Amino acid sequence: MNLQPIDWAILAALFALPLAAAWLSRKYIKGVADFLVAGRSVGRYLGLGSDSMQAMGAVTILAYWQMNYKAGFAGQWWYLLTPMAGILVALTGWGIYRFRETRAMTLGQLVGMRYGERARIFFGAIAYLAGVVNMGIFPAVGAGFFVYYCGLPEVLPLGSVELPTTLLVMLIFVGAAVLLCLWGGQVALMVTDFLQSLFVNAMLVGIAVVVFRMFTWEQFADAYQSAPNGEALLNPFHAEGVSEFDQKFFFIFVYYWMIYSVLSWSPNSMLVSSARDAHEGRMMRVMLHVRNLAMMGLGLFLLPLAAFVLMHHPDFASEAAMVTTAIGNIANEQVQSQMLTPAAVAQILPAGLLGAFAGVVLFSFITTHDTYLLSWGSLLIQDVIIPLRGKPLSPEQHLRWLRILVLFVAAFIIAFSLMFIQVDNIFMFMDISASLYTGAAGVVLLGALYWRRGTRTAAWVTMIVGLGLSIVGFVYRSLDPSFLDGRIMAFWVSVVCIVLYVVVSLLGKDPGFDLDALLHRAPGTKRRPWRLGPEVRRGDRVLIPAIYVLVGLFLLLHLAIGAYNWRYDIPVESWISFWPIYLYVMFGLGALFLIWITIGGFRDLFRLFRNLRVEVVDELDDGR
C-alpha cells in the first residue's frame, strides 16, 4: 500500500468537504430552475470552477497522462493549439452566446423550439444513449486509477467471498456523486466543484514544485534522448507516426470540439444555461480555455513526463522495477498503459502530498460523475419523458423524477463498467461514443441558431444518418482495432452530416425561420459578440484585449518557430534547451492564474447565494 496514515487522514477530510457543502446548499433549491441551472445566477469564475472540474475528471487525467506519456514534449507543442483556438472561438461567442439568449435549459429544448417536439424526443433519446455510453467507462477507469495509485489490493476478502476493490471504490465514489446531485442539484455542484477546483489547482502548482526539485533537467534530457524514439518525443516536427497523438490528432480536436461541437455536449451546455446572461456565459468559456492554457501544462503534462524519466533513467531503476511489478498482472494492454503513470506517480510524491493528490483523484472522479449524472438524467426527463407524456409535471413531481433518473443513470454506468472490455485509448473511445450523437448534433444545433433555411427534414435526416454511421463505426472498431480510430471516425461523420444538412435544407421550400423570436431579439437586431458592445462590462474592456494579446503572442511564437523549422530543421539540442524554459513560464502563469480565479470565484459564490435568497420562483420556468 502506497499511502501512509497521514495520507488517509487527509483523504478522509477531503472526502467529507464536498458532502458537507452540498448538504448545506439544500436550502437554496426552491424550484426546477434552481435544481437544473442554479437559478441562472452563475458568474464566470464560479462556472469556470465547475466547468474545469467536470472536464478534468479522473478518467480525463488518465487520458491526458496516457497521451502525454506516449507523445512526450512533442505532443504538448501541438496541444497548445487547442486552448488558443478555444479562446479565440469563445471570444466570438460562437454557439454559446446565442444558446444562452434562447433561455433553453437543455439542448433538446432548443431542438424542440426549432424543429418540433418529435425531433426533441429523438434528439434527447440519442443524446442520452451516447452520454451514458460515453461515461460508462468512467467508474471503472477512475476506480482503477485510485486503486493502482494508492497501491490497494485487487480484491478484499469478505468472509468466504472476495470483493473486487475497484467495485467497492466505484460504489463509494459514485454514491458520493449521487448524494451531491440529490441534495442540491446544480447549486450544490457549482459550490462543491468550485471549492474542489481551488484545491486541485493549488495541488497542480505544488506538484510542479516537487517535480522540479526531484528531477534535474539533465535527467529529463538523458531519459528522452536514450529512448528508441527520443528525438520524436522532443521535436514536435519529427513526431509524425510515432504515436496516435500527433499533429493530426490535435488539429481534428480543435475542429471537432472547439468549433463543430462547441455546443453539443450537454454537461457543458447546462453550465452555459446557468450563466447570468449571454455575455457571462461567453466569458465563462473564455476563462476556461485561458485556465487550460495556464494550468494544464502543470500536473497533466509534467507528471507523465516525470513518470517517463522514472521508467527510463538508470538513476530510478529500483522505482521503475516497483512500477513494473505493480502493473505486471494487468492482462488488458490498454488498462496497463493507463495505469503506468499513476503507479509511477505513487513513487514520485512524498507522504502527505501522496494523500493530497489522492484527493485530487477523488475530487476529479466525483465532480465529473455528479455533473454527468445530473446532465444526462435531466436530459432524459426534460427532452424524452415529459414531451412523451404530453403535459408538464408539478414542481414536486418534477424534482422527484429528476432525482430518480440520477439514480438510474448511476446504476447503469456501474453495470456498464463491469461488463465493457476496453480496446482503445480513452480519448479515442470517448470520441467515437460521443459521436453517436455529436456527429449530427453539431450542425443541427448550430444550424438552429445561425441559419434560417435549416429545415426539420434536414435535421431528421442528419440525425438518423449520423447515428447510423457512428453505430457502424463503433461496432466495427470494437471488432477490428486496426480500423479508423475514434477521432478520425468522428471527423468523417461530422463532414457527412454537414453536407446532408445543407443539401436537404436547400432542396426544401421552407421560407425561413424567425431567428429573432428564437433569440428573444427585436426584429432586425444585429449583435456581434466579438466586438466590445454595450453589453461588455467595464473590466472586460481591458480583459478581452489583454487576452487577445496573450493568445497573439503564443500564436506568433508558434508560427515563428514552425516557419524557422520548415526552413532550417531545428536540431534536437535546441529543443532540449527550449523545453525547460517553457515549463518554467507555464508554472509562473499557472500560479498567477490560481490567485486570479480564487478571488473572482469567491465573489461569484457570494453573489449566487445572495441572488438565490431573494429570487421569486417562476413555476413555469422548468424547461417545458
Ordered structural domains, the chain, with CATH: 5-603 (1.20.1730.10)
Angle (CA) 554 558 564, round 5°: 145
How do strand 155-158 and strand 161-164 relate by DSSP bridges?
antiparallel
Quote the DSSP letter at residue 483: S
- Range list of H helices, 276-352: 278-295, 299-312, 317-327, 333-348
Quote the DSSP letter at residue 420: -
Tell me the C-alpha distance between 167 and 308, whole Å: 29
- At position 353, the amino acid (one-letter code) is L
**Close Cβ partners of 116 (under 8 Å, ≥ 6 residues apart):** 456
Q: How would you class 300 by CB atoms within 10 Å of its CB: exposed for 0-12, middle for 13-18, buried for 19 or more? A: buried
Question: What is the reported pLDDT for 154?
Answer: 82
Question: What is the reported pLDDT for 220?
Answer: 92
Q: Which three cell numbers stand for residue 606?
A: 457570494
Question: What is the reported pLDDT for 424?
Answer: 61
Question: What is the reported pLDDT for 117?
Answer: 92
Tell me the C-alpha distance between 392 and 124, whole Å: 17
Question: What is the reported pLDDT for 272?
Answer: 85
- At position 612, the amino acid (one-letter code) is L
- Range list of H helices, 80-137: 81-91, 96-102, 107-115, 117-134
Q: Which three cell numbers stand for residue 598?
A: 480564487
Question: What is the reported pLDDT for 426?
Answer: 67
Question: What is the reported pLDDT for 556?
Answer: 92
Tell me the C-alpha distance between 458 and 472, whole Å: 21
Q: How would you class 599 by CB atoms within 10 Å of its CB: exposed for 0-12, middle for 13-18, buried for 19 or more? A: exposed
Question: What is the reported pLDDT for 427?
Answer: 67
Tell me the C-alpha distance between 485 and 83, whole Å: 23
| CA-closest candidate to residue 44, choices 586, 543, 445 | 543
Tell me the C-alpha distance between 101 and 26, whole Å: 28
| CA-closest candidate to residue 334, choices 425, 432, 418 | 425
Question: What is the reported pLDDT for 1?
Answer: 63
Low-confidence ranges of the chain (pLDDT < 70): 1, 239-246, 296-299, 331, 421-428, 481, 486, 527-535, 617-624
Question: What is the reported pLDDT for 176?
Answer: 92
Tell me the C-alpha distance between 39 and 612, whole Å: 7
Q: Which three cell numbers stand for residue 84?
A: 488558443
Q: Which three cell numbers stand for residue 596?
A: 486570479
Question: Contact at 8 Å (CB) between 447 and 454?
Answer: yes
- Phi, psi torsion values for 157, nearest 5 degrees: -75, 130
- The residue count for the chain: 624
Question: What is the reported pLDDT for 175?
Answer: 93
| CA-closest candidate to residue 173, choices 358, 49, 354 | 358
Q: Which three cell numbers stand for residue 204?
A: 497542480
Q: Which three cell numbers stand for residue 381?
A: 426527463
